[in-house]
Structure 1
Amino acid sequence: MALRIHFTGEDLARTWIAPEPDAMWETMLSLYRLRRRERTVVFGEWKTSALARMPAATRMLATLVPARGYSVDFLTPRAESGSVEAGTEALRRTTGERLRVDLTELAWRHPGTRLPGWAGRLAEGRPEELNAIVSTVEDYYRACLAPHWSRIRAQIDQERGRRARLLTAGGWQAVFSTLHPSARWSFPTLELAYPAEHDIHLSGRGLVLQPSFFCRQTPITFRDPGLPPILVYPIEHDLGWAHRPATDRRRPLADLLGTTRAQVLETLGRGDFTTTELARLLAIPRSTASRQVTTLREAGLVNSHRLGQAVLHTISELGVALLNGRRSGLIA
């Protein structure tokens, strides 16, 4: 089974990579992660924390987001930005027709599940029920996602930087063909593994590529092909994203360089990043990241070069040698 997205030349000109994580998609997809019995290093620690914090009212969202299969499209509306404030405001404006169509589809797709009474009232467009859903999303986000949002955003920034570099080096062919192991791009069609046969004809509308932290296994999109086209796809993860080490393993290097510079150098040891990406990954001001990179560059530990409108920072051979010396115990 496959998802096929059909492009025109006009669609390629209108295709873009979302500038930030989308709180509504991350809310919906994180609920999948919580409800599925998955053994994964990436989300295990977060799941333990989130289950302990999760508001009781989240069961309303669980109704709309079953553990498997179709979830209502209206929970992930197109908004002016990816913030939870913009997303919930767009959710509050959901039309009665959209509510009715999606909840009818939910009942049809999950015939063995009886929807609660409030779902019927929501399908009728009752504003009090929609307001309750909005409040539940806000409470869930605040309890389970907000404490981790800066690190989630930093990893999305890292993925966006990677996509931008691929686009610069190899065009849309390089971007599309590496979105997912199943991706097959042959103009005018992008084909990906999907739980069902599904075709989207963009017809000049373009496509939003939305990197997602909690998306897993296959990319996802709206069931209704008439909605604004979006492809939400999984990113690669830093396995330790959900916690900070109890002890500072970088202490010897930090004594030599200073804590922040040591963190910047070790981060660049994992890959190439812009100043903005470094700031997000390390949760420091951009000005601080820029100052520390400048110092490391002047010491010959980092190289910087321009790629398009961005400046990319790369660890130098001397920087690698310094990190290897720390790891081998030469720096003590």
Structure 2
Amino acid sequence: MAHGGKMLELCFGVADMARTTFTVSPMDQVLGGLAGAGHSCVSGSIRRDRWWRRVRPLVPLEAAPLLDLINASPAGIPDFLCTEGGPGLRSLGDELDAMLATPDVRIRADLDFYGDQPGLPPIVRQLREEGARALRPVAEAARAVFRSCLAPDWSDIQRRLGADIARRSRTAADTGTGTMLADLQPRAHWHGDDVLRLPTAWDAHWELGGRGAELRPNLFLHTLTGQSDKGRAAVLMYPGCSGPQPAAAPDTDGLALLLGPSRARAVRAVGQGPCTTAALATRLSLSPATASAHATALRAAGIIATQREGRQVRHELTPLGHDLLLHNPARP
């Protein structure tokens, strides 16, 4: 995943438009969080800087191999750290299993951009010499960082990235996939009917070849980055939650002002993940009848959707519900 130019050109065909998907990657959040200011894709990211100041004392010693590998060069990071996956939400375990299965020949090829520059960390030499065997401490580092620094906030991160995807999916449905793609980066634009030009920190021209693109929102990025390998969809990691976020007074819960405290709590409870009425009642410490009344009101307002599953119903947030939580985060 290289940085270092001015414009990325993506050549889309009809099949590429149809095969463009969204993915939430836990590993991407680890990489974006650990990348230092030397990487242009996070340089200037206020969200990343604030997060790093908060979690830096929590970073475990086991993180060293991954920290060193990510920040060994401002030119980028090895592509094998960004594994291929399907659309939707992925698990960190699945991503790390895929990384550990990387062939030795690819590992060494992905390290070529480091060259022989002086001062490279030991992990680069170990990976060159040992291949996949040396990836074990890198995988354990990612697990340790996620557990210590991201897991406590993961449900909120998922919600924020999910709201970003929902907003962009609505744009694609309302005005077309092309409009949505051009909104991934400021000053992005279409050149002709099939070439999307994205201002980035490097120059490249990618022929997507009918494989499409995998769009992966990242909480910590300031500008778009990505990678393209033959035989798989191009990966574009873009700044998630990049829409306008109205400021609110620190001691004000805008959602409670809008809906009332009880209904606001119910929205946040559903935001923890799809749930039955009984599960919603448990989350809120209320009777099932009261939880059902809240669900009925929120469904009527278009904030949640309800589907029947056998003898039960399942509630989940609508795009409107996601947007309300995105712009009204829970107060400590």
In structure 1, the partner of 2:263 is 261
8 Å CA contact 2:70, 2:77 repeated in 1: yes
Q: Which residue of 2 aligns with 1:194?
A: 200
* 2:30 alignment partner in structure 1: 27
Tell whether the 8 Å contact from 1:42 to 1:239 is kept in structure 2 after alignment: no
Determine the structure 1 residue equivalent to 2:270: 279
Distance 1:295 1:49, change over 3 A: same
Q: 1:4 aligns with which of 4, 9, 18?
A: 9
Deviation at 1:155, TM superposition (A): 0.5
Q: CA RMSD in A?
A: 3.5
Amino acid of the residue matched to residue 34 of structure 2? L
Aligned-pair distance for 1:175? 0.6
| In structure 1, C-alpha distance between the alignment counterparts of 2:273 and 2:292, rounded to whole Å | 10
Cα deviation for residue 82 of structure 1 reads: 2.1
Q: State the one-letter code of the partner of 2:69.
A: L
Show the counterpart of 1:158.
Answer: 163
- CA shift, 1:116, in A, is 3.4
Task: Tell me the equivalent position of 2:325.
Answer: none
Alpha carbons of 1:7 and 1:290: their partners in 2 closer, same or farther (altered >3 Å)? Answer: farther
Q: Quote the Cα distance in structure 1 between the aligned partners of 2:165 and 2:93.
A: 22
1:270 maps to which residue? none
Deviations 1:71-107 (A, max 9, x none): 1111111135521111111111011011101122223
One-letter amino acid matched to 2:270: A
For the residue of structure 2 that corresponds to 1:5, the secondary structure is strand
Using the alignment, how far apart are the partners of 1:98 and 1:34 within structure 2?
A: 27
- Structure 1 stretch 50-59 or stretch 121-130: which is displaced more? 121-130
Query: Alpha-carbon deviation of 1:208?
Result: 1.1
- Following TM superposition, by how much is the alpha carbon of 1:237 offset from its aligned partner in structure 2, in angstroms? 5.6
Number of aligned positions between the proteins: 282
- Residue identity in the other structure for 1:25: D
Relative distance call for 1:292 and 1:179 in structure 2 (3 A) is: farther
Q: Percent identity?
A: 25
CA shift in 2, pair 1:225/1:192, >3 Å? farther
Which among 77, 102, 115 is matched to residue 107 of structure 1? 115
Distance 1:131 1:43, change over 3 A: closer
Partners of 2:122 and 2:47 lie apart in 1 by 36
Structure 1 distance, partners of 2:255, 2:164, is: 30
User: Following superposition of structure 1 onto structure 2, how do residues 1-332 of structure 1 map, counting pairs within 5 Å?
Assistant: 1-18=6-23, 21-32=24-35, 41-66=46-71, 68-79=74-85, 82-107=90-115, 111=117, 113-185=118-190, 186-216=192-222, 218-222=223-227, 228-236=233-241, 249-250=252-253, 259-263=261-265, 279-280=270-271, 283=272, 285-287=274-276, 288=280, 292-296=294-298, 302=301, 313=320
With normalisation by structure 1, the TM-score equals 0.72
Is 1:33–1:214's contact at 8 Å kept on the other side of the alignment?
no
Q: For the residues of structure 1 that align with 2:146 and 2:221, how far apart are their CA atoms?
A: 16
Q: Partners of 2:255 and 2:226 in 1: how far apart?
A: 47
Deviations 1:208-240 (A, max 9, x none): 111221221x21111656654111111226999
Contact 1:74 1:94 in 2 (8 A): yes
* Map of 1:319 onto structure 2: none
Cα distance in structure 2, aligned partners of 1:251 and 1:164: 25
1:212, 1:225 → 2: CA distance? 23
- Map of 1:317 onto structure 2: none
Per-residue displacement from partner, 1:11-44 (whole Å, max 9, x unpaired)? 11211222xx201111111112577796765344
| SS of the residue 1:124 aligns to | helix
Instruction: Quickly say closer, same or farther: Cα 1:30–1:312, change in 2 above 3 A.
Output: closer
Asked if structure 1 preserves the Cα contact closer than 8 Å seen for 2:48 and 2:219, the reply is no
Secondary structure in structure 2 of the residue aligned to 1:59: helix
